[in-house]
Structure 1
Amino acid sequence: MNRTSRIPPEAFDRLAEVVPLGRDAAAVRKRLVALERLLERSFVIPGIKVPVGLDLFFNLLPVGGSFIGAAMGSYMIWEARNLGMSKLQMARMAGNVGVDWAVGLIPVVGAVPDLLFRSNTRNLRIIKRHLDKHHPGTATIDNP
């Protein structure tokens, strides 16, 4: 019997635990926390112990990397719209992504402010505040 994929089915089960596919607020929260961790805190720079993510590495690519990072950050805004967040909150989130995108357009130097201005972390904080207020059942205790 030929298998259609070389990826074992258990791998998909583990992925579904980390990134739930549901539309409920709890699944959206887990998905956005995982995305923020991937974009902002995936790796630690040895020596200075500063957490960085893929967003910093995207900014090292001239022009195109900034667009990739902005597209991934815009996904958070799309999820915020699906959660019913206000237009003012989504405008703040779009402003955060826009600043990150504009600064990232500067070759090489644009990656430096990404260590200080973490737009995805700021946007996740806005979304968590909304979820804690309107969907208190999704609240979790965050690790520092």
Structure 2
Amino acid sequence: MKRPGTINFDGLADRMPGMGRDAASIRRRIEAMEGLLERMFVLPGINKPIGLDVLLDLVPVVGPAVGAVMGSWLAWEARNLGMSKWQMARMFGNVGVDLLLGAIPWIGAIPDFFFRSNSRNLRIIKRHLDKHHPATATIEGVVKG
């Protein structure tokens, strides 16, 4: 029973666009977080996308930990989709490897160019969504005109 003057946060979240617990909302959130962490901007000259994850690795100790927490959020969202324990273990393993590589001061940013744990985790989640929630699938590609 709801007490007078209280706010139902579950209902409020479901009414806000993109904040619901449905698979389509979760897909949009995880894609946005992966973009922030892995593809925020492109390095000029080498045309390589980097994100907040690489930048955080430049801050010794705290940076990789913050990146790992943000990457773990993707796995937490995946848990809300009902993904298997094996898939969850793979995702947390990817975050752990990224944390260990990033723990090397300054040099830890270099492996992030090649081992993109958040992109790997996004692929795992998308495979699950495409199989179990096909209505949320998006078509990716480039339109040339």
Look up the match of 1:89.
87
Q: Secondary structure at the match of 1:44?
A: strand
Whole-angstrom CA distance in 2 between matches of 1:109 and 1:72: 20
Candidates 53, 63, 71, aligned match of 2:51: 53
Cα deviation digits, residues 16-37 of structure 1 (max 9, x gap): 76xx111100000000000000
Q: CA deviation at 1:41?
A: 0.2
Task: Return 5+ residue gaps in structure 2 as ranges.
Answer: 1-15
Choose from 118, 123, 135 the match for 1:137.
Answer: 135
User: Post-superposition shift, 1:106?
Assistant: 0.2
Counterpart position of 1:114: 112
- Matches of 1:111 and 1:35 in 2, distance apart? 19
1:1-144 alignment, distance < 5 Å: 20-143=18-141
Deviations 1:62-101 (A, max 9, x none): 0100000000000011011100000000000000000000
> Please, what TM-score do these two structures have when normalized by structure 1?
0.86
Q: Structure 1: which 5+ runs fail to align?
A: 1-15
Aligned partners of 1:113 and 1:142: how far apart in 2?
A: 27
Aligned residue pairs total 127
3-state DSSP class of the match of 1:30? helix
Deviation digits for residues 99-124 of structure 1 (CA, Å, limit 9, x no counterpart):
00001000011000000000000000
CA distance in 2, matches of 1:96, 1:73: 9
TM-score computed with the length of structure 2 as normaliser = 0.85
Q: Secondary structure at the match of 1:51?
A: strand
Identity of aligned residues (%): 65
- List structure 1 runs of 4+ shifted beyond 3 angstroms: none
